[in-house]
Homo-oligomer: A and B are copies of this chain.
């Protein structure tokens, strides 16, 4: 059994979600699935304009909003004024640098279980019918600690 490439995988994801398969959607989702750089709309636009020269910014907004509605992708704010996007393959959360805005994925064995437990507890406490969560941790990334001359205790 050969390993599926990203294009095949994302094609299947689109079909499974009953989304009409357009080159734009396919390319955007493939970009998100193969990069872990938490791009903004601008970043995506710049990266894909070689592949699809007529790709419009409004299409990217539309497409990403559709993906977010289906839960394929999540939105992140890092304080630079624009929204960043992340394809949500395996359970993880984010550490965001308060100095340079860098976002990294964090996970550990059992995070998925902890997360479910947290959602269940929240449902009991609040009465909300939970559909998802964001966990973000803020701080200085290793590079900025060096750059700012900060010693770790």
Contacts and interface: CB of A to CB of B under 8 A. Distances in A.
Interface stretch (A12-20, A35-43, A56-64, A139-147): A139-147
Nearest to A143: B127
Scoring A108, A129, A132 by chain B CB atoms within 10 A of each residue's CB, the highest score goes to A129
A36 to B, nearest CB: 14
Contact of A108 (B93, B125, B142): B125
A150 interface: yes
Contact of A106 (B98, B108, B125): B125
Interface residues of A, number: 35
A75 to B, nearest CB: 9
26 contacts: A77-B77, A95-B122, A95-B128, A106-B122, A106-B125, A106-B126, A108-B125, A118-B135, A118-B137, A123-B139, A126-B141, A127-B141, A127-B142, A128-B137, A128-B142, A129-B140, A129-B152, A130-B138, A131-B138, A132-B138, A132-B139, A133-B138, A134-B135, A134-B136, A134-B138, A135-B136
A121 interface: yes
Interface of A: 77, 93, 95, 97-98, 104, 106-108, 118-119, 121-123, 125-142, 145, 150, 152
A127 to B, nearest CB: 4
